Amino acid sequence: MNKITLFFLFLSSVLMAQQDAQFTQYMYNTININPGYAGSRGVMSIFGLYRTQWIGLDGAPESATISVNTPLNESKLGLGVSLINDKIGPTTENAFSADLSYSIKTSETFTLSFGIKATANLFSLDVDKLTPEHQGDAQLQNFNNKFTPNFGAGVYWHSDKAYLGFSIPNFIQTDRYNDNDVVIYKDKINYYLIGGYVFNLNPYETIKFKPAFLTKMVEGAPLQVDVSGSFLFNDVFSIGIAYRWSASVSAMAGFQITEGLYAGYAYDHETTNLNNYNSGSHEIYLRFELFKSYNRMTSPRFF
C-alpha cells in the first residue's frame, strides 16, 4: 500500500464526520448549507469566515468562505453566491455555488423559503506534500482542479425570532480519489437539520437568549449534533457556548461594530484523543449588510 493510500485512509478515519467544511458559527453561515436562506434577512448580506482547525497538527483542515445573498427587489425571490476553500493535508477543494430561493408567507410572522443550489467543485491533490515509499510511483499523480458538478435543495421556515431548516446541499455522491480502481476518498451526501429560537429575557428586550442546534447525517459516519446557547446584550454584544457531540466544546463571542457591520469569533477545544496533538481551533467572521430596509426587517436578527 503506497503512502497516498495511507494518507487517505487516515483522512477517512479522522474526518469521517466532516465531509463538508465544518463551521462552529453555522447559524450565521446558513447560506453554505441551505439555499433557502438566500435573501431571508431582507437585505444584501456579505459574509466572510476563516477557520483554522486543530492548531499544531500537521495537515489539519483550514477553511475559508465568502458569500453574498440578497432579496431580488420586491419579489419573492432571493439570490446567493458563495465560495468555500477547504484545505486538508495535500488536498485543496474549491466549491463555487449559486443559490436561488422562493419565499411564501405562512402566517403574519413566518415565511417558508424553498431553495435550490448549483455547485462547481474543483479538487486538487499536491503529491509533492507527500513522501512516497517509491519515488516516481506512477500511481502518485497530481490532480489540478478536477471538476465535478453538483446540485442541492433546502427549505427554511423563519421569522424574526425563530428558524427551522432542512437541506441537502449536494445530491450527487462523487469520488475524489481512486487507487487501483478502489475509491479511497468519497464525498458523500450530507443531510442537515437546523433550528433556533430567540427568547426575550426582560421586558425591555435588552437581553436575549438564543438556543440553536445543527444535526448532520452522513452515510457511514456517526450522527453529528451541534448545540449552542448565546446571550445578546442591547443588540450589540453576544457571548455563548457550543458543544459538538463527542467532538469539541466551544466559546463564541460577537460584536455589532456599526449598524451594518458585525464580527464574531469562536474557539473550539477538542474533547477527543485529538486534544493530545493540537491546541484547538479558531474561527473568525465578518458580516456586512447594505441597503437596509426597515419595512423588510423591522428588528435586528440574532441569526
Q: Give whole-number Cα distances, 212 to 36, 155, 188, in Å.
A: 18, 17, 25
pTM: 0.86
The grid coordinates of residue 207 equal 437581553
Q: How many CA atoms lie within 13 A of 8 on its CB side?
A: 19
Nearest to 280 by CA among 299, 292, 266, 295: 266
Nearest to 303 by CA among 235, 202, 223: 235
Nearest to 24 by CA among 290, 276, 226: 226
DSSP string, 223-290: PEEEEEEEEEETTTEEEEEEEETTTEEEEEEEEE-SSSEEEEEEEEEE-SGGGGT---EEEEEEEEEE
- In this predicted structure, the answer to whether residue 8 has a pLDDT above a threshold of 80 is no
Q: What is the pLDDT of residues 220-276, one digit of tens each?
A: 788 999 999 999 999 999 999 999 998 899 999 999 999 899 999 999 999 998 888
Nearest to 117 by CA among 168, 164, 158: 168
Instruction: Give the model's confidence band at 10: pLDDT under 50 very low, under 70 low, under 90 confident, else very high.
Output: very low
Instruction: Give the model's confidence band at 120: pLDDT under 50 very low, under 70 low, under 90 confident, else very high.
Output: very high
Structure confidence at residue 15 (pLDDT): 47
Least confident of 23-37, 118-132, 207-221: 118-132
List own/partner pairs for 93-97 with CB under 8 A and 24 or more apart.
93/121, 93/122, 93/123, 93/124, 93/176, 94/121, 94/122, 94/145, 95/119, 95/120, 95/121, 95/122, 96/120, 96/122, 97/32
- In this predicted structure, the answer to whether residue 30 has a pLDDT above a threshold of 70 is yes
CA 151 to chain centroid, in Å, comes to 16
- In this predicted structure, the answer to whether residue 195 has a pLDDT above a threshold of 60 is yes
Instruction: Give the model's confidence band at 82: pLDDT under 50 very low, under 70 low, under 90 confident, else very high.
Output: very high
Averaged pLDDT for residues 67-78: 94
The whole-angstrom separation of Cα 86 and Cα 126 is 14
More confident residue, 130 or 36: 36
* Contact in structure between 61 and 92 (CB atoms under 8 Å): no
Structure confidence at residue 228 (pLDDT): 97
